[in-house]
């Protein structure tokens, strides 16, 4: 299965969550469009070790900006039909850049990659004042297009009322809650990947 990891914004914890998901599923990882350094693939490599496959980016753009603009600066035509998913028999964790409505060019958005890769969405919701609005808007964009959503991963403070209202508007369950950690290292990734495995299996049993 392909899982597309997106978020309600940028710097939301997609790379952290992708490392946890990749580890939990024993999956391959792929960042199709990388804008700026250090690359997310390099962070994932540090956190998951050498045993799993990280596929090379389809587009590496130098400027840490919206991909549509970073591509324009380099005179690169960034179009979805030029991006082919790597061939693998394994699960593939595909990390987007920024949030769902981040543009790749003047007519295509990150969200359009979900059907292109025949993927299920996992939405990373970092929790802050304003995140309810950003999350429900993101869920509406997904619902309007009829795309499959596997679940939500919360990242940050555990605020019951925020989680409840979001989950009441989400057709899929919470897969994991990542707390604010003092530092992110291999032990933290392993701790959450064990939690995610248990939650995932439990949710699959209930379905």
Ligand X SMILES: Nc1ncnc2c1ncn2[C@@H]1O[C@H](COP(=O)(O)OP(=O)(O)OP(=O)(O)O)[C@@H](O)[C@H]1O
Ligand Y SMILES: C[C@H](N)[C@H](N)CCCCCC(=O)O
Residue ranges of the binding site for ATP: 11-16, 40, 95-98
3-state DSSP assignment of residue 35? strand
C-beta separation of 35 from 63 below 8 A: yes
Q: Closest Cα partner for 70 from 98, 111, 100? A: 98
Does residue 99 bind ligand Y (CB under 6 A)? yes
> Which one of 8, 16, 24, 97 is in contact with ligand Y (CB under 6 A)?
97
Helices in 107-159 by DSSP H: which ranges? 113-116, 131-145
Does residue 119 bind ligand Y (CB under 6 A)? no
Active-site residue 31, yes or no?
yes
Structure tokens at 54: 């990280």
Does residue 10 bind ligand Y (CB under 6 A)? yes
For the window 12-31, what string marks contact with Mg ion as x by the rule CB under 5 A? --xx----------------
Contacts of 142 (CB under 8 A, 6+ apart): 100, 111, 114, 121, 123, 149
> Which one of 2, 4, 7, 61 is in contact with ligand X (CB under 6 A)?
7
| Least spacing, CB of residue 126 vs ligand X, in Å | 7
User: What are residue 60's DSSP bridge partners?
Assistant: 34
The residue ranges that bind ligand Y (CB under 6 A) are 10, 35-36, 64-66, 97-99, 102
The residue ranges that bind ligand X (CB under 6 A) are 7, 10-16, 40, 97-98, 155, 178, 180-181, 184
């Amino acid at each position: 299965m392909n899982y597309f990891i997106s978020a309600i914004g940028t710097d939301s914890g997609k790379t952290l969550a992708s490392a946890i998901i990749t580890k939990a599923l024993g999956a391959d990882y792929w960042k199709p469009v990388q804008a700026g350094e250090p690359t997310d693939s390099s962070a994932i490599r540090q956190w998951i070790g050498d045993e799993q496959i990280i596929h090379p980016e389809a587009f590496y753009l130098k400027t840490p900006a919206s991909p549509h603009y970073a591509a324009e600066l380099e005179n690169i035509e960034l179009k979805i039909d030029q991006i082919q998913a790597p061939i693998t028999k394994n699960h593939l964790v595909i990390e987007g850049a920024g949030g769902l409505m981040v543009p790749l060019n003047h007519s295509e958005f990150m969200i359009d990659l979900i059907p292109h890769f025949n993927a299920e969405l996992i939405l990373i919701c970092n929790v802050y004042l304003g995140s309810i609005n950003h999350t429900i808007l993101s869920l509406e964009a997904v619902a309007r297009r009829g795309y499959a959503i596997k679940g939500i991963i919360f990242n940050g403070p555990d605020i019951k009322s925020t989680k409840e209202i979001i989950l009441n508007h989400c057709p899929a369950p919470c897969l994991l809650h990542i707390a604010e950690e003092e530092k992110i290292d291999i032990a933290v990734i392993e701790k959450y990947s064990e939690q995610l495995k248990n939650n995932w299996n439990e949710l699959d049993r209930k379905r």
